[in-house]
Amino acid sequence: MIAGNIRRIREELPEGVSLVAVSKFHDSEAVMEAYGAGQRLFGESRVQELLAKQPLLPDDIGWHFIGHLQTNKVRQIIGKVAMIESIDSERLLSLVDAESEKAGVVTDVLMQVHVALEETKFGFLPEELMEFFRERRFENLRAVHIRGIMGMATNTDSEPRVREDFRRIRSLYDAIIRDVAPDLRRFDTVSMGMSHDWKIAVEEGSTSVRIGTSIFGPRQY
Ligand SMILES: *Cc1c(COP(=O)(O)O)cnc(C)c1O
């Protein structure tokens, strides 16, 4: 079932849009099933769960951390993740940079932008992120590579609302490129779209979707 779900999603994904299979709350056997279908990128949102699962699984998996990352847990995942998609404050960014430098690695990250109407979602406001790039506050980073931005749409059945949110995320990315392009190398990722809204996200310019439920089924919390 998992392999079939992955194949079906892949068939519908345009060339060049990557698929991160969100395996949070699913065990290593489920991950192996997806791996068997050729899936190599997986997303986790809790540090303890990631650290428990990782040793049980092949080491050519690229793990993406996608949840809110508490600063006191940063050190535990540096060097173990291919990307942190959920940088939601400059304090966290600096810490990831410092710990990466200490560990002698470069960590790829995405800046998380908050456009959804819900109060509870983490991330920079679009204006804050634009200011961050305009003021070139990325220049002093030594061991972090900012690869792009990540965002979520409002959790609603209203397709126009969701589409508008994705459009804002994509146009923020385009604006950053336009303003500071020459200085941003490999700033190539717009991560947006989950199980219920990824098709809209792709239409609005996503380059990477994060899909859990439609691959693994519902999560048992
Ligand atoms: C859980 C999660 C997903 C996947 O959600 P599904 O609806 O199960 O596809 C995607 N992105 C983030 C940030 C998540 O926390």
Tell me what pLDDT residue 22 has.
98
Tell me what pLDDT residue 118 has.
83
Distance CA 127, CA 30 (A): 40
Tell me what pLDDT residue 117 has.
86
Contact (CB, 8 A) for 188 and 208: no
Q: Is the pTM of this model over 0.95?
A: yes
Q: Is the CB of 28 under 6 A from ligand 1?
A: no
CA of 183 to the centre of ligand 1 (A): 31
Tell me what pLDDT residue 221 has.
84
List, in sequence order, every beta strand (DSSP E) within the chain. Answer: 18-22, 41-44, 62-65, 83-87, 107-114, 144-152, 189-191, 208-211
Tell me what pLDDT residue 91 has.
97
Tell me what pLDDT residue 2 has.
97
Kindly tell me the sign of the dihedral angle through the C-alpha atoms of 59, 142, 45, 173.
Answer: negative
- Residue 65 DSSP class: E
pLDDT below 70 — which residues of the chain?
none
Q: Is the CB of 206 under 6 A from ligand 1?
A: no
CA of 85 to the centre of ligand 1 (A): 12
Tell me what pLDDT residue 61 has.
98
85 CA closest ligand 1 atom index? 13
Distance CA 25, CA 204 (A): 29
**Residue 104: how many CB atoms within 10 A of its CB?**
9
Tell me what pLDDT residue 220 has.
87
Which amino acid type is present at position 114?
H
Distance CA 38, CA 44 (A): 18
Tell me what pLDDT residue 141 has.
96
Backbone angles phi, psi at 110, to 5 degrees: -120, 145
20 CA closest ligand 1 atom index? 10
Contact (CB, 8 A) for 2 and 34: yes
